[in-house]
Amino acid sequence: MSRHHFEAYLDKVFDFSQRVGALPEGRHSPAHPWPKVFEAVFLGAAMQIPSLLQIEAECRRGVLTKRIGHISDDTFGYALQRQSPEPVFALGCDIARRLKRNGVLRSEWSRGLVVAAVDGIEICSSFARCCDACMQREVQHKVRGELRTDIQYYHRIVAAVIVSTPFPVPLGIRFQKDGEAEVPCALALLRDLVDQLGRRFLDLVVGDAIYLQAPFVKEVEALGLDWAFTLKENQGSRTALLALARGRLARGGTCDPRSENRAHGSQTRGHRQSGRRPRQENQEPGGSREHELLRHEFRTRRDPAAVHLSTEPQPVAH
* C-beta of residue 157 within 8 angstroms of C-beta of residue 188: no
* Whole-angstrom distance, CA of residue 66 vs CA of residue 52: 18
User: DSSP of 148-187, one letter per residue?
Assistant: EEEEEEEEEEEEEEE-SSSS-EEEEEEEPPTT--HHHHHH
The torsion region of residue 195 among left (phi > 0), alpha (psi -120 to 50) and beta comes to: alpha
Q: b or e along 27-65 (b: 16 or more beta carbons within 10 Å of the residue's beta carbon)?
A: eeeeebebbbbbbbbbbbeeeebeebeebbbbbeebebe
Interface contacts to Zn ion, rule CB under 5 A: 130-131, 134
Helix (H) and strand (E) counts in the chain: 11, 7
Nearer Cβ to Zn ion (131/147)? 131
Q: Least separation, in Å, of the C-beta of 178 and Zn ion? A: 10
Q: Least separation, in Å, of the C-beta of 40 and Zn ion? A: 22
Element spanning 273, H or E: none
Nearer Cβ to Zn ion (136/314)? 136
Q: Least separation, in Å, of the C-beta of 38 and Zn ion? A: 21
Element spanning 112, H or E: none
Q: Least separation, in Å, of the C-beta of 273 and Zn ion? A: 19
Nearer Cβ to Zn ion (136/283)? 136
Nearer Cβ to Zn ion (134/255)? 134
Q: Least separation, in Å, of the C-beta of 167 and Zn ion? A: 30
Nearer Cβ to Zn ion (1/131)? 131
Q: Least separation, in Å, of the C-beta of 153 and Zn ion? A: 6
Nearer Cβ to Zn ion (131/143)? 131
Nearer Cβ to Zn ion (124/250)? 124
Q: Least separation, in Å, of the C-beta of 181 and Zn ion? A: 18
Instruction: Name the residue among 65, 66, 166, 160 with its Cα closest to residue 121.
Output: 160
69 phi, psi to nearest 5 deg: 90, 175
- Dump strand ranges (E) for 144-289: 146-162, 169-175, 204-207, 226-230
